[in-house]
Chain A
Amino acid sequence: MDWFIQTLWLVPIYPLVAFLLISLGRALPKPLAYDASEGHGHVDASEALPLLAKKEVAFALTSGATVLGLVHAIASVAWLFNQHDGVTPIEQNWQWLQAGDLVLKLGTLLDANTVMMLFVVTFISLFIQIYTHGYMNHDKGYAKFFGYLALFNFSMLGLVLSSNLIQTYMFWELVGVSSYLLIGFWFHKPAAAAASMKAFLVNRVGDFGFLIGILLLLGITFTSGFWQQYLSINPEQALLSFQGFMPMVGGLAKTIPAWLLGAIGILVFTGPMAKSAQVPLHTWLPDAMEGPTPISALIHAATMVAAGVYLIARVFPLMAASMDITMPFITIIGVITAIVGATIAVTQTDIKKALAYSTMSQLGFMVTAMGLGAYTAGLFHLFTHAFFKAMLFLGSGSVIHACEGEQDMRKMGGLMKKLPVTGITYLIGTIAISGLFWTSGFWSKDEILAAAAHQHPVVYILLSATAGLTSFYMFRTFFLTFMGTYRGEAHVHKEDPVMTAPLAVLAVPSLLIGVLLSGFAFGLPAFGHYITHGLMSELPHHPHSLLDAMFNKVGNASQMVGLTGLVLAFAVYGMKLINTDTVKRVLAWPYELFRNKWFFDDVYQGLVEGGFMLIAQMSSTFDKVVIDGVVNGVGCITSGTGGLIRRLQTGRIQTYVTVLGFSVLALVVAYQVLMVKG
């Protein structure tokens, strides 16, 4: 057991090796027999491939690496549960480079946060890889896809295990690259290519702010001499290490002005803003749904987008040090994101787009929790959300797969009979995300709402309303997809057991993980028990028993709101008591606003187009008038002067001699006159 903890650095190495081997396999020359048989439906085509390029090998390598990672993750969970008297984090560092006093290190940090993310990433990855085996089975790029999945796992696990901000930034960019590669996996589709580019560019904006934040922090701690002071406390610490954040921020708060600390916090927060799709940098996430559905589930719902929230948790002391600037900023951004995401989700007809906006909204919840200081609540919601949202996405993928690629919910309906396992797990996921009936979503969302109710009534009301909306739009997708009668033309296939098995597995944590980690079941510790240790204890209510926790005031209220959403969705989309067209007509203005995604894309389009055109116009004018003017002016003056002077060149020797002679004479006379006078 100890061995798995001590060799935690191997966790990202496994998928890296898998990625390199698969890439090597793809780079090997393909035998002629393969090329000849390709496209002729030859069954034995892959037989001729070199071993490394085979589908089975790619799958075995990637999922094998994930299984090894999962073993480490389980060992770390066991390690965490054995830490009875508070968690003593384990940090291992290797020196990377040194320049003067500046030492950059690479390393791993194991604490409660790491354990949670490590488990989520490896666990969900594994089941998504199994699902992918079914989903991508007939895709030509099967091996490439698994190679990219391994690359993503390497980046994500490296990010999770990072012991300092510099290393985090490196892996932060790497997950961005893998996300780009996977969104644009079907790059022959123009929409996918554009979406991958958009994701990359929007993330660049956030990453740039993040980088400036890190460098500011580095510069200030380093130049203020504060760093040496800190080094003497713990010389083993790497620069900007997460372990050292508490003392570092404590010292910083005394030495630098509050506005600067707040600015650094906000700059660092722009990284999570882009990665976790917070307004106004959220526009890439819905477009990212052009990628294959397993990717939407793994990267754009469960793990990578949650990395932003994870990062906020990592640098939480920095955020919390600026109670007047950074924290309110985070809260406001989170609340806006939650509302914008939920309202747009109501109007979407594409099942994946609806889920994407739902993810955005839920991320808004987590970020709000962070902003409110309800650190554990945010992480808890991240944890439960990862399971049920991954399951919902995989469910939608199963539906799309069965409907021959159809994603429009208006052309679905009544699929419960054809796809029973998908339908039931999707219903479970819907209940969980709506926070109903004490499923996992209830517990985590409840904690966020409780924190909001405790701190800020306006935020509480807004979040509660959004939670009701969540319930409404999620049940809307459920009723449209699985209930009523089938409205599409595509022939519906049967479910693939390779794809339904992961759904069934993920349904279990979606239902139970909340109550299991509520602190009242089977003697298991509460989720926040380890996370908060030594940092802050912000739980506003202290329930004494499971029943007490199940029926607290905030919980009851949120269940009521959720049920209202459910009933409304049932009335509109289940029983069709209310005609949607009438609603659209009556609420025309908000409907158009939501359907057009609050016009974010249009505004950006206008800003970018208008702004760039303006700058281009100005540059063009400057170039034509000023630069060309100078260049042409020099030319004109030169040739004009030349035209005047050329007349002196008569070609007659007599003239030259005369000019020469009289010039000398003039010089002599001038010399004489000057010498005499001088």
Chain B
Amino acid sequence: MSSAVTPEIGLSTYLALASILFGLGFMGVATGRHLMRTLMCVELMLNAVNLALVAINNAVNPGDLSGQIFAIFVLTVSAAEAAVGIAIVIALFKNTGSVDADAFQQLKG
């Protein structure tokens, strides 16, 4: 047995990674001005959630695959979301010539 102990990659590690990814995504959405970056950050947040789902499912109830299946669904929906989102951004750009989130404040109360 080698003395070098390979640390077990536990649930907390996965969750920590997911949290970091989610935080990065959130930061990007909250502060970013470019709409494409906003969309990408949303994708990042979704994938962070996927990671958390799969990790928790694996750790809590390995025999059951519902977490994995849920992650597949999220992927599907996020693909659709990305398609729609990009289409909107392109339409906005075509109409206004801008992809800056700060340029779209018509709903200001």
Residues of A within 8 A of B (CB): 645-654, 657-658, 661
The A/B interface has a contact count, at CB < 8 Å, of 35
Residue of A nearest to B33 (CB): A654
Tell me the minimal C-beta distance from B43 to chain A in angstroms: 15
Q: Please list 19 pairs of residues, one from A and one from B, whose beta carbons are closer than 8 Å in the complex, sorted by A's number.
A: A645-B109, A646-B109, A648-B109, A649-B107, A649-B109, A650-B108, A651-B104, A651-B107, A651-B108, A653-B38, A653-B101, A653-B104, A654-B30, A654-B31, A657-B26, A657-B29, A658-B30, A661-B26, A661-B30
Asked if B106 is an interface residue, CB under 8 A from chain A, the answer is yes
Cα-based distance from A647 to B38 in the complex (angstroms): 24
Output the residue of B33, B38, B101, B108 with the most chain A CB within 10 A.
Answer: B108
- B30 adjacent to A650 (CB under 8 Å): no
Cα-based distance from A456 to B105 in the complex (angstroms): 99
The residue that A649 contacts in the complex, of B29, B33, B102, B108, with Cβ under 8 A, is B108
Cα-based distance from A653 to B108 in the complex (angstroms): 10
CB-defined interface of B89-109 with A at 8 Å, one 1/0 digit per residue? 000000000000110111111
Tell me the minimal C-beta distance from A640 to chain B in angstroms: 15
Residues of B within 8 A of A (CB): 26, 29-33, 38, 101-102, 104-109
Cα-based distance from A661 to B29 in the complex (angstroms): 10
Chain A interface mostly: helix
Tell me the minimal C-beta distance from A650 to chain B in angstroms: 6
Q: Which residues of A contact B31 (CB under 8 A)?
A: 654
Output the residue of B30, B32, B106 with the most chain A CB within 10 A.
Answer: B30
Q: Which residues of B contact A658 (CB under 8 A)?
A: 30
Residue of B nearest to A652 (CB): B105
Residue of A nearest to B35 (CB): A653
Q: Which residues of A contact B101 (CB under 8 A)?
A: 652-654
- B30 adjacent to A657 (CB under 8 Å): yes
Q: Which residues of B contact A648 (CB under 8 A)?
A: 109
- B29 adjacent to A651 (CB under 8 Å): no
The 10 tightest CB contacts between A and B, nearest first, are A649-B109, A651-B108, A651-B105, A646-B109, A651-B107, A658-B30, A657-B29, A657-B30, A661-B26, A654-B30
- B26 adjacent to A651 (CB under 8 Å): no
Cα-based distance from A512 to B71 in the complex (angstroms): 122
Extra A-B contacts (18), CB below 8 Å, given A650-B109, A661-B26: A645-B109, A646-B109, A648-B109, A649-B107, A649-B109, A651-B107, A651-B108, A651-B109, A652-B101, A652-B105, A653-B38, A653-B104, A654-B32, A654-B33, A654-B101, A657-B30, A658-B30, A661-B30
Tell me the minimal C-beta distance from B22 to chain A in angstroms: 10
- A651 adjacent to B106 (CB under 8 Å): yes
Cα-based distance from A646 to B107 in the complex (angstroms): 11
- A647 adjacent to B105 (CB under 8 Å): no
Residue of B nearest to A642 (CB): B109
